[in-house]
Amino acid sequence: MRYTIRFKSKAYSDIAQLRDFIHKKCAAPLMALRQFELLEEHLNWIEQYAELPGIDVELSIKYGQIMRNVTFGKKMAILYTVEDNIVYIHRIMPQSMIIL
């Protein structure tokens, strides 16, 4: 089963902030490109296997929804929910920013 991926507005903002930080502040455009390639690979994986990762109980309590968490790169996380055949990407952020 393939899921449809939809981004919440905060996820779009997270992507823009990640791009700006890596590209402008770190002066590392190649690293930025690789991060976005990894992000795309993981989104493609989620598109096929969205319900495979277990539910993150602590995140679910914090967000008030059944949340799942997939990591990519060295320290990044994709936080999302699944409703029927739609995956809603809520956040794309460093794991260190996930405060429970």
**Per-residue model confidence (pLDDT) at position 99:** 64
Distance (Å, whole) CA 48 – CA 61: 25
Q: Is the pLDDT of residue 27 over 80?
A: no
Range from 13-27, 29-43, 65-79 that averages highest in pLDDT: 65-79
Q: What is the pLDDT of residue 50?
A: 94
Whether the pLDDT of residue 26 is over 70: the answer is yes
Q: What percent of the chain has pLDDT over 70?
A: 98
Instruction: Decide if domain 4-97 falls under CATH 3.40.50.2300.
Output: no
Model confidence at 81: pLDDT above 60: yes
